[in-house]
Amino acid sequence: MTAETAPDPQSQTHWFLLGMRGIFSLPAIILMLSFVGFAAFTAEAKIPVEQVMFMTGMVWALPAKVILVGSMLSGAHILTAFIAVTLSSVRMMPMVAALIPEIRTSRTPTWLLLFLSHFVAITAWVFAIERVNGVPRDGRVAFFAGFGITLTLINILLVGLVYGAVSEFPPIVSGCLFFLTPVYFLTSIWISARHRVIYWALGIGLALGWFFAIVAPQYDILLAGVIGGTLAWWGERMLRQREASR
C-alpha cells in the first residue's frame, strides 16, 4: 500500500491494535514504573487522587507534572506554575516537528495531528521513531495513536490504582522508581540519535549539568540545556563548514 492509495479501515484497526501492543515494550514498562514513583510523590504531598489522575491525562509529560506539583507545594502563584510547566513542555515542539512528517500522509486531517501531538512525550517519541519506519505510511498515524492513547490511559488508571498503596513505600524505593525514567530517556535518545550533534549536545549537557548544579542549582537544567545545545550546534556547524571547504 502506498501513501497515495485510500486507507483500508481494517488495516487502520490492525495498526492501531499493533500500536497498543507496545504497552508491553520496555519503554512503556519503565514509564509505568516511573508513574508508580510519581504516585508515591503525590501521595506524600497529600494531593487528592482524582487531581493526580486528571493531571496525568492533561499534562501527561512526567517532568512537567513534577514541576507542577513542586509549584503547588511551594505555594507558587498559579501564573508562575503555568509559565514553569509551559516552558518545560516547549522541548516537545521539536519532537512533534520531527515525528509528524514521518507519520502523516497527504490525506491526514490537521485536527487529528493536533490531537495526537498531545501524546508526544519522550517515551512515545522514542518508541515511534525507532519503529515507525517498519510500518507502512498509511498505517503510521494509527500505529502511533494506538500506542500513545493506550499508554496515557493505562498510566491514568495505574496512578489511581496504586495511589493508596505507594504511600507506604520507603522514600528510597519511590525515588529509585522515579529515577528510572531519566536514565531510560538518556540511553534511548543516545541509541536512537541519527546525527552527531545529538551526541555532542548530550555529552556537553551532562558535563554542564554537574557544573551548574553547584554554581546555579535553581537554573541548572535550563542553563545546561540551552548552553549545551547551543555549543553543540555551533561546533557541529563549524565542523560541517570546514568539511565542505575541503
Contact 18, 146 (CB under 8 A): yes
Which residue bears the cell 486531517? 109
Among 140, 77, 134, 78, CA closest to 107: 140
Cα separation, 207 vs 210, in Å, equals: 6
d(CA 103, CA 12): 13
> In Å, what is the CA distance from 76 to each residue of 13, 69, 130, 199?
45, 10, 39, 36
Instruction: Write down how long the chain is.
Output: 246
Strands (E), 83-182: none
Considering only CA atoms, which of 127, 153, 135 is closest in space to residue 58? 153
* Sign of the dihedral defined by the CA atoms of residues 150, 13, 7, 27, in that order: positive
Does the predicted TM-score (pTM) go above 0.75?
no
Task: Give pLDDT, residue 2.
Answer: 46
Q: Given this model, what pLDDT does residue 21 score?
A: 93
Per-residue pLDDT for the chain (246 aa), expressed as one digit of tens each? 444 445 555 588 899 999 999 999 888 888 888 888 888 888 878 889 999 999 999 988 887 888 788 778 777 677 877 877 887 778 788 889 889 999 999 899 999 999 999 999 888 888 898 888 889 999 999 999 999 999 999 999 999 998 888 777 777 777 777 677 677 667 766 766 667 888 888 888 888 888 887 887 767 767 787 888 889 889 888 888 888 877
Helix (H) or strand (E) holding 83: helix 78-89
On whether the CB atoms of residues 216 and 223 are closer than 8 A, the answer is: yes
In contact, 146 and 19? CB cutoff 8 Å: yes
Amino acid at 12: Q
pLDDT at residue 110, rounded to an integer: 93
Q: What pLDDT is attached to residue 225?
A: 77
